[in-house]
Amino acid sequence: MSLVVVGSVAYDGVETPHGKVDRMLGGAATYISLAASYFTPVKIVAVVGDDFAQADVDLLASRSIDLSGLERIPGGKTFFWSGVYSADMNDRTTLRTDLNVFADFNPKLPPSYRSEPFLLLGNIQPALQRSVRAQMTGVKFTGGDTMNLWIDIARPELLDAIREWDFLLINDSEAHLLSGEKNLRRAAAKILEMGPTALVIKRGEYGAVLFSKGSHFVAPGYLLEEVFDPTGAGDCFAGGFFGYLAGKGIEPKSGSIDFAEMRRAVIYGSVMGSFCCEKFGVDRFRDLTREEIEARYREFQACTAF
Amino acid sequence: MSLVVVGSVAYDGVETPHGKVDRMLGGAATYISLAASYFTPVKIVAVVGDDFAQADVDLLASRSIDLSGLERIPGGKTFFWSGVYSADMNDRTTLRTDLNVFADFNPKLPPSYRSEPFLLLGNIQPALQRSVRAQMTGVKFTGGDTMNLWIDIARPELLDAIREWDFLLINDSEAHLLSGEKNLRRAAAKILEMGPTALVIKRGEYGAVLFSKGSHFVAPGYLLEEVFDPTGAGDCFAGGFFGYLAGKGIEPKSGSIDFAEMRRAVIYGSVMGSFCCEKFGVDRFRDLTREEIEARYREFQACTAF
């Protein structure tokens, strides 16, 4: 079953203690799609300018990502973001954000996308997230991300969007802001009352926590020996998590996804996030294999079992 | 087999978002001993003034902690510390530190302590840690803690001390400072070259990582619904970790402790740290039972297995 991914496709300029790249492929939908493509067929919905390089189209196509929904605006320029990371890479400062064609992004889904059962909404304006979901005629499971900006300036629209979702994937500071609760468990309890069946709270290098009503699963982060560039790691987590679930499909009996599969999905999400950090931008996905993913999953088991 | 615990016994003044206590029993050796006492007999080595209350002696004695090594200085005052926690309780500011009798602490072990096989050195001057270990005639396993201050001002003495230890238990910022490495795995590799067989890096609410040459174990933190007072949680972790190992004893064949037991010890450490935070100061240990500890250990298994 295919996963429809909506969000930004961008060019990024990134500086970390390990180096500096002025312009390279980035964007949430890019990272999500690349990570998810190891588990399930992916169909992307995004917008780029006519500066979008053929080499980058080729990379996405090489992972069999369906690009029918990648709109190209003639005369337009692709979204550009640049930032610099702190020495420990736990903080970053945005240097420049040129929304360009992304400012007027109004996602229209190709007919071939609309009957797919899995939808993952990257961090875009909540009203747009709703309009995308409304175009999906056969959607069974929707996952979505958001950010502090929308929680601050578009809370009612965001709450309307979240109410329709099955999975919400956000980071810990967003969870605190959204719920008004500092304690993670209490924040999660409040957010689950907003509608989603499951909530994944990403905690960066410290892993992630999966909550559903009455139970939770805590996964530590994978310890990398070298983090080159953390850009996109959270999106790769989301892509690995939801891609794994889409690849597994829906329980024929109950029409649902069981919690044990969701736990495994969190680990696959962590695995994909960890690979993302090993090279600049999307570079690790140029040669990453499913065998390496499985090996790291087993390594995760080995270093967390007791 | 008994565990000898050396460190501070103190009075603390603590303010958290949940309340304020002007003066209550505290100190690293207190927390370590109370936590360890659920797993193994404990013998404490510390110094107090003649202001040390009988009720506090009684609490320690109620956990069968051997107090022969608790020196009482006539006319002296017990070490006093006070601090206030930030709203999220991840930071604290020290308001007052009166070392009092702790300034001249020169631990002398009662003869009845010296042949015990397990020694846990709380955070005191590294030269004193060495002198304590030298008094132990039959010590087989030594664990120790330290702090940024000693890494900064007494590095050579600290390295001399660590070289003799089997276990080093420190937090992540101390690991970075001690090793000069920002990356946790590389920091751990450098520290293991300093002598200890195993290194436990405590990460506060995010859990702990156990390292030994060639392998590691990552444990997430237990998610509490309410943290009342995090004072002593790291010490309770150490007490639970080392207390569990002491209670298990030494492998008769190899004379060593296997890595699987050390993993379980990390979880027991986390369990004890989590209980510590549930009430102010040492209050949770007034009624905590071994059954509650085992129930939380099983809860840990349930919310981390995949």
Domain ranges of chain B: 3-302
Using CA atoms, how far apart are residues B272 and B35, in angstroms rounded to an integer?
A: 6
φ, ψ at B258 (rounded to 5°): -85, 160
| pTM for this entry | 0.95
Contacts of A294 (CB under 8 A, 6+ apart): none
All residues of chain B having their beta carbon less than 8 Å from the beta carbon of residue A215 are 303
State the average pLDDT for chain B. 96
Q: How far is A257 from chain B (nearest CA, A)?
A: 15
All residues of chain B having their beta carbon less than 8 Å from the beta carbon of residue A217 are 303-304, 306
| Facing residue for A264 by CB, picked from B220, B264, B306 | B306
ipTM above 0.85, yes or no: yes
Q: Per residue in B184-238, pLDDT tens?
A: 999 999 999 999 999 999 999 999 999 998 899 999 999 999 999 999 999 999 9
Per-residue pLDDT, A256: 82
CA-nearest residue to B260 within chain A is: A306
Report strand pairing: A3-6 vs A42-49: parallel
Q: How far is B239 from chain A (nearest CA, A)?
A: 19
String of DSSP letters for A147-211: -HHHHHH-HHHHHHHHHT-SEEEEEHHHHHHHHS-SSHHHHHHHHHTTS-SEEEEE-GGG-EEEE
With left for phi above 0 and alpha for psi between -120 and 50, is residue B7 left, alpha or beta?
left
Does B220 contact A217 at a Cβ distance shorter than 8 Å?
Answer: no
Q: Residue A280 is encoded by which pair of tokens?
A: 């600049």
Contacts of B53 (CB under 8 A, 6+ apart): B25
- Which chain B residues have any C-beta within 8 angstroms of a chain A C-beta? 87-88, 182-186, 203, 206-207, 209, 215-221, 223-227, 260, 263-264, 266-267, 301, 303-306
All residues of chain B having their beta carbon less than 8 Å from the beta carbon of residue A296 are none
Q: How many Cβ atoms are within 10 Å of B172's Cβ, its own excluded?
A: 16
Task: Return the closest-CA partner of residue A122 out of A84, A168, A60, A74.
Answer: A168
User: How many CB pairs (< 8 A) connect A and B?
Assistant: 77
Using CA atoms, how far apart are residues B73 and B100, in angstroms rounded to an integer?
A: 10
Mean pLDDT by 10 residues, chain A (306 residues): 96 96 98 98 98 98 98 98 92 95 96 97 96 96 96 97 97 96 95 97 96 95 94 97 94 82 97 98 98 98 96
All residues of chain A having their beta carbon less than 8 Å from the beta carbon of residue B260 are 306
Task: Return the closest-CA partner of residue A99 out of A219, A5, A233, A9.
Answer: A9
Q: Per residue in B126-141, pLDDT tens?
A: 999 999 999 999 999 9
Contact A9, A77 (CB under 8 A): no
Q: Tell me the Cα Rg of chain B.
A: 18
Contacts of B298 (CB under 8 A, 6+ apart): none
Per-residue pLDDT, A86: 92
Does B219 contact A186 at a Cβ distance shorter than 8 Å?
Answer: no
All residues of chain B having their beta carbon less than 8 Å from the beta carbon of residue A227 are 183
All residues of chain B having their beta carbon less than 8 Å from the beta carbon of residue A303 are 215-218
Does A219 contact B304 at a Cβ distance shorter than 8 Å?
Answer: yes
CA-nearest residue to A88 within chain B is: B182
- CATH code of domain B3-302: 3.40.1190.20
| Facing residue for B183 by CB, picked from A216, A226, A264 | A226
Q: How far is B10 from chain A (nearest CA, A)?
A: 29
| Facing residue for A220 by CB, picked from B87, B219, B263 | B219
E strand residue ranges, B27-132:
42-49, 66-73, 80-85, 92-98, 118-121
The CA distances from residue B276 to B106, B188, B229, in Å, are 28, 27, 8
Q: How far is A220 from chain B (nearest CA, A)?
A: 5
Q: Per residue in B238-284, pLDDT tens?
A: 999 999 999 998 877 777 888 999 999 999 999 999 999 999 999 99
Does A218 contact B304 at a Cβ distance shorter than 8 Å?
Answer: yes
Helix boundaries (H) for chain B = 28-36, 54-62, 126-135, 148-153, 155-163, 172-179, 184-192, 233-248, 259-276, 290-302
All residues of chain B having their beta carbon less than 8 Å from the beta carbon of residue A299 are none
CA B155 to chain centre: 20
Per-residue pLDDT, B275: 98
Per-residue pLDDT, A142: 97
Say whether pLDDT at B172 is over 90: yes
Q: Residue B10 is encoded by which pair of tokens?
A: 């103190």
Does B218 contact A223 at a Cβ distance shorter than 8 Å?
Answer: yes
CA A167 to chain centre: 12
CA-nearest residue to B268 within chain A is: A306
Does A226 contact B260 at a Cβ distance shorter than 8 Å?
Answer: no
Does B226 contact A304 at a Cβ distance shorter than 8 Å?
Answer: no
Per-residue pLDDT, A1: 81
DSSP state of B256: S
Does B223 contact A203 at a Cβ distance shorter than 8 Å?
Answer: no
Per-residue pLDDT, A251: 76
